[in-house]
Chain A
Amino acid sequence: MQALTNRAKAVDRKPMTLVEKLYVWNIFKGMMITLRHLFKKKATISYPEQKRPFSPVFRGLHILNRDEEGRERCTACGLCALACPAEAITMEAAERLPGEENKYREEKYAAKYEINMLRCIFCGLCEEACPKDAVYLSETFAPSNYQRKGFIYGKDDLLIPNPKDNPGEYWKAVGNRKANKEQGN
């Protein structure tokens, strides 16, 4: 039969000679490759001690933002839940009572806000849909867990630390990308 391409090789089924049967040369060739890699630059890093920098466009774990006075920005408008293709976001809204003005920015706020990280595909559409700059995706990823219930993130898990009480933690959570953007404004 004629080969379709000229790269085809006929299989050589000749019995091996004694030198070939000893494999010494072939083992030596293989060991040379292994030895050469010992002195090459490693492609991996030892992860928990060393961490790679995230790309500035990385879309990781969600954060619910606060404004400069520490009030929650989210007003439970539901646009993130509407935009979410995986239907991972749910929320329940409540009305702000007199005296809660220092906690919530607007008259309406999200009393409950939940993202199911098992459903989330980290597409970032919620961040794009948000009219209040309240939800954005940070440069971390969801830590692994042994149980499914650990992946259902409520408001306690998502809310950024208060910049008034805890500015250090706040700026750490804000991350590079967001901080650069805010300084640029």
Chain B
Amino acid sequence: MADQPKLFKVTIDNITVEVEAGTSILNAARMIGGDVAPPAMCYYSKLKGSGGKCRTCLVEVSAGSTADPRPMPKLVASCRTNVMDGMVVKNITSERVQDARKGVVELLLINHPLDCPICDQAGECHLQDLSYEHGAEGTRYEFPRRQFEKHNLGPYIQLHMTRCILCYRCVFTADQLTNKRVHGVLDRGDHAEIATYIEKALDNDFIGNVIDVCPVGALTDKTFRFKNRVWFLKPVDAHRNCPKCSGKVTLWHRGDEVFRVTGRKDQWGEVQDWICNDCRFEKKKTSDWVIDGPTKVSRHSVISANHYVDTVKPHEALPEVMGGRQPRLLMNIHSVSEVNKPTIDLSKIQGPAHSGDFKKGE
């Protein structure tokens, strides 16, 4: 009994939970789950040292501990504050927190361009969800937003610096997954940007994971760039025997084509296993993978729109009635339609499609 870890009782939004000493408020709230867990843009449980930068996880501590039950004077970042025994925390029940979070979202959106219609992250973007939930409808900012020179990060990763919220997740990812980090945050203040300083491609085997950890559309998959919107794709869990990584991924299908491969994300939007670049960028065929089944998508996510599970294909009765003959096709849609041409396989084009790619099929 003696070596059993000491458990702290902490009350978050009137729900009491017992957690180990040294747990952050955010992780304690995640144990309760649901709406009680504060949103996090920079904290990533799989990355050591992450958190404390975006301030979206602010909570109110109305009683510090049983020993010292005074409330904390200011709102605290729940990802960086550890629980104490008898701590009472208010998240969604506190009006101060809601108000502060609205301000934080406005601050994050000051320099964030309103290009969701173009952005590949739209539909699975944490900032989009956050601003939808907590943000104001309009902007009060009247000045030009940040502009950056475009940096080329190689054939796999597309950087959109204007969308970056400087959460440092990708920097921690490169530090902790690769031997040598070649990108980082340069300059200070408004000029701070993610770059490689000297134009250099990110080419480590695991560097593709920066795409998954990026909470916004600053780092996106170049092989998937502008190919399709995420909500038109069907996520499917799949695995393969990969010598480098666990090989457990989510395939984003459209018909039989694999448009994109990502890591499997949990309910907090964090990947379960890091995957290697081979799995992510090279294996874009269904035959490369063993499919485990459809990915569970939250009912409220746009990705679940128009996706039906457990559907039964209706029994094809025509051939039976017609003595085994198949019905004659009177009009082939490909002879009329310009989209989904059988000669153009968008998923097989390396990088985004251009006007020339569509002329080839004509």
Q: B331 and A148: CB pair below 8 A?
A: yes
Interface residues of B in 328-362 (CB under 8 A from A): 331, 335-340, 346, 352-355, 357-358
The dominant DSSP class at the A interface is: mixed
Q: B337 and A114: CB pair below 8 A?
A: yes
Tell me the complex Cα distance, A91–B353, Å.
13
In the complex, B225 has a CB within 8 A of chain A: yes
Min distance, Cβ B346 to any Cβ of chain A, angstroms: 7
Chain A's closest residue to B160 (CB) is A107
Tell me the complex Cα distance, A95–B225, Å.
8
Tell me the complex Cα distance, A81–B117, Å.
13
Chain B's closest residue to A94 (CB) is B353
Residues of B within 8 A of A106 (CB): 115, 117-118
Q: B117 and A90: CB pair below 8 A?
A: no
Residues of B within 8 A of A77 (CB): 116-118, 122, 229
Interface residues of A in 68-88 (CB under 8 A from B): 75-79, 81-82, 87
Tell me the complex Cα distance, A148–B302, Å.
33
How big is chain B's contact interface, by range?
20 to 34
Tell me the complex Cα distance, A79–B122, Å.
11
Residues of A within 8 A of B (CB): 75-79, 81-82, 87, 90-95, 97, 100, 106-108, 111-112, 114, 131-132, 148-149, 152, 154-155
Residues of B within 8 A of A (CB): 115-118, 122, 225-229, 231-232, 302, 305-306, 331, 335-340, 346, 352-355, 357-358
Inter-chain pairs besides A77-B116, A97-B354, A154-B338, 19 sampled, C-beta below 8 Å: A77-B118, A77-B122, A77-B229, A78-B231, A82-B306, A90-B339, A92-B340, A93-B226, A93-B227, A93-B353, A95-B353, A107-B118, A108-B118, A111-B357, A114-B339, A131-B116, A132-B117, A148-B331, A149-B331
